[in-house]
Amino acid sequence: MKQSLTEMIVDYESDAILDPDDAATAYTCAQCNRKQKALRRSEIVRSPEMLIVAMRRFRRSEQGTFVRNSQRVDVLSPLIVPVRPEIGVEISTVYNVSAVIHHQGSQPNSGHYYADIRRGNNWFRCNDRAVTPSIIADLGNETSYVVFFQRQGIQQTTTHF
């Protein structure tokens, strides 16, 4: 299954309850130093010219070893990012992919890195000392690790009261 980066950003920005009984998400109050129930909210408040998205390709298993996330991600479709510069206002900014760094390997601390870079309408693969034409279909494969997006413009403005 291929997930879009727009869907991933919407998931990332959704509110999350931090449970004091869950060691992985527990929030400790700086005032009283006790674990408490809390709400985590992440929002993008400015549209950068260049947006860099690093995907979590590895997680730790219960045994302490790393497990690779090999999910394919659609990076070719325009990325639509909801930006909230102030309360009640949402602007959707459109980005297009300009480069992708790939990681091949089963561990986060070893492996091989290479990049696909767009120049005009052409894509090139930079792999060690070789630069060759790139196959666009490979951009969102399971090795995509860091994706660079160039801002294209504002899609819409919505006001919520």
| Residue 105 DSSP SS3 | coil
List, in order, residues 6 or more apart from 16 with CB less than 8 Å away: 25, 39, 40
With bands split at pLDDT 50, 70 and 90, how would you rate the model's confidence at 156?
low
Question: pTM for this structure?
Answer: 0.74
pLDDT in the model for residue 158? 61
Residue 4 near residue 77 (C-beta atoms within 8 A): yes
- For residue 21, the tally of other CB atoms under 10 A from its CB is 8
With pLDDT > 70 as the criterion, what percentage of the chain qualifies? 88
Q: What is the pLDDT of residue 137?
A: 67
Dump strand ranges (E) for the chain.
Answer: 2-4, 16-18, 27-28, 35-36, 38-40, 50-54, 58-60, 66-68, 72-74, 79-86, 89-104, 112-119, 122-127, 130-133, 144-159
Tokens of 47: 């549209």
CATH code of the domain made up of 2-18+43-159: 3.90.70.10
Using the predicted structure, report yes or no on whether residue 11 has a pLDDT greater than 90: no
**Average of per-residue pLDDT across 146-153:** 90
How far is 6 from 140, CA to CA, in rounded Å? 13
Within 10 A of 29 (CB to CB), how many other CB atoms are there? 11
Our measurement of the distance from residue 111's CA atom to the centroid of its chain's CA atoms, rounded to an integer in Å, reads 21
Q: What is the pLDDT of residues 17-69, one digit of tens each?
A: 877 777 666 788 888 888 888 887 777 778 889 999 887 777 777 777 777 77
- When comparing pLDDT for 44 and 155, which is higher? 44
Higher pLDDT, 76 or 100: 100
User: Given a cut of 70, is residue 1 above it in pLDDT?
Assistant: no
Per-residue pLDDT tens over the stretch 77-136 = 888 887 877 777 778 888 999 999 988 877 778 889 899 999 998 999 999 999 999 887
Q: Which of 73, 78, 79 is nearest to 140 (CA)?
A: 73
